[in-house]
Amino acid sequence: MSAPDPVENYGNTPRHIAVIMDGNGRWAKQRGLPRVAGHRQGVEIIKSMVQTCGQRGIPYLTLFAFSRENWKRPSTEVTLLLELLASTLENELLGLHEHRIRLRIIGDLSRFPQRLQQAITDADELTRNNKALNLTIAINYGGKWDLLEACKSIVELVEQGEIPSASITPELIESQLCTHELPEPDFFIRTGGEQRISNFLLWQLAYTELYFTHIYWPDFNQACFDKALQTFANRQRRFGKTSAQIKQLE
Ligand code: IPE
Ligand code: IPE
Ligand code: MG
């Protein structure tokens, strides 16, 4: 499947939302709970967001669940997080499939425990032909890693004589990224108060509308999501043009 055509203006609703779900640990700490309790509650918020995307007709949702930098956390937290990912995938897979959700996992999967790798393969195979929401989960993902891998594949194509170096275009680079089947994100949400990209979709966020909120991810309920969507609806996306040019098009 090739990437859908880029859409400059998909109306007031974002077509693709990318989310950094941050603040789970602080949410738990606030309540005197272990950090993993925040991650568990975070899974409930994912379910509610998936539901809302279905209701609002948002066809692509991409969530950052584990970064390449997250391996630096204490090993007990890393183990618990990976176990939670595997059990959530196993427990939710049939429900997602029933709702015709296409689940993709992006990132460097080679380093994961066998159980998680199996859960990922099963999810991909089962939901491959689903046409409702495209739910993408980024694990052991990093924007720099994604670009580096794309560079390596392109160099290989050139070295093998399959393409001349003159035909390296932005579209070719995009075709080699993990997100090649997805349109560019229209809207980026980061919860938890930090105002940074943390090595998420570096290339893909080039023209995305950014939204930062102090609310911790486990508290990011439907009302918070609706408020974010309202903010998006009030943004004017210009893609380099002037405001007057955009108004003319409307
Ligand atoms: C985000 O919450 C979840 C992951 C990075 C896996 P954090 O675990 O980063 O929570 P805080 O930022 O420490 O509160
Ligand atoms: C970003 O959150 C990664 C995920 C949500 C998976 P972090 O909590 O790891 O980000 P930094 O380290 O504060 O930038
Ligand atoms: Mg954090």
Give the model confidence (pLDDT) of 30-87 as tens digits. 999 999 999 999 999 999 999 999 999 999 999 999 999 999 999 999 999 999 999 9
Reported as a pLDDT band with limits 50, 70 and 90, residue 250 is confident
Contact 140, 68 (CB under 8 A): yes
| Cα–Cα distance measured from residue 239 to residue 8, given in angstroms and rounded to the nearest whole number | 8
Which residue among 20, 21, 24 has the greatest number of ligand 1 atoms within 8 angstroms of its CB, and so is best to mutate?
24
Residue 6 has pLDDT above 80, yes or no: no
Ligand 1 contact, 191 CB (< 6 A): no
Residue nearest to atom 9 of ligand 2 (CA): 70
Give distance in angstroms: CA of 67 to centre of ligand 2: 7
Contact 174, 203 (CB under 8 A): yes
Torsion of CA 35, 38, 43, 44, to 10 degrees: 150
pLDDT in tens, 20-39: 999 999 999 999 999 999 99
Give distance in angstroms: CA of 84 to centre of ligand 2: 17
| Cα–Cα distance measured from residue 99 to residue 132, given in angstroms and rounded to the nearest whole number | 7
Q: Which residues contact 5 (CB under 8 A, 6 or more apart)?
A: 183
pLDDT in tens, 211-234: 999 999 999 999 999 999 999 999
Q: pTM (2 decimals)?
A: 0.94
Instruction: Give burial (CB, 10 Å; 0-12/13-18/19+) of 4.
Output: middle
- 198: enclosing H helix or E strand: none
Choose among 132, 108, 134: nearest CA to 120: 108
Ligand 2 atom nearest 65 alpha carbon: 6
Neighbours of 90 (CB within 10 A): 15
| Cα–Cα distance measured from residue 58 to residue 191, given in angstroms and rounded to the nearest whole number | 19
> Strand 16-20 to strand 60-67: parallel, antiparallel, or no bridges (unpaired)?
parallel
Q: What is the SS3 assignment for 2-18?
A: CCCCCCCCCCCCCCEEE
Ligand 1 atom nearest 26 alpha carbon: 14
Tokens of 25: 């640990």
CATH number of 16-142+185-233: 3.40.1180.10
Give distance in angstroms: CA of 190 to centre of ligand 1: 11
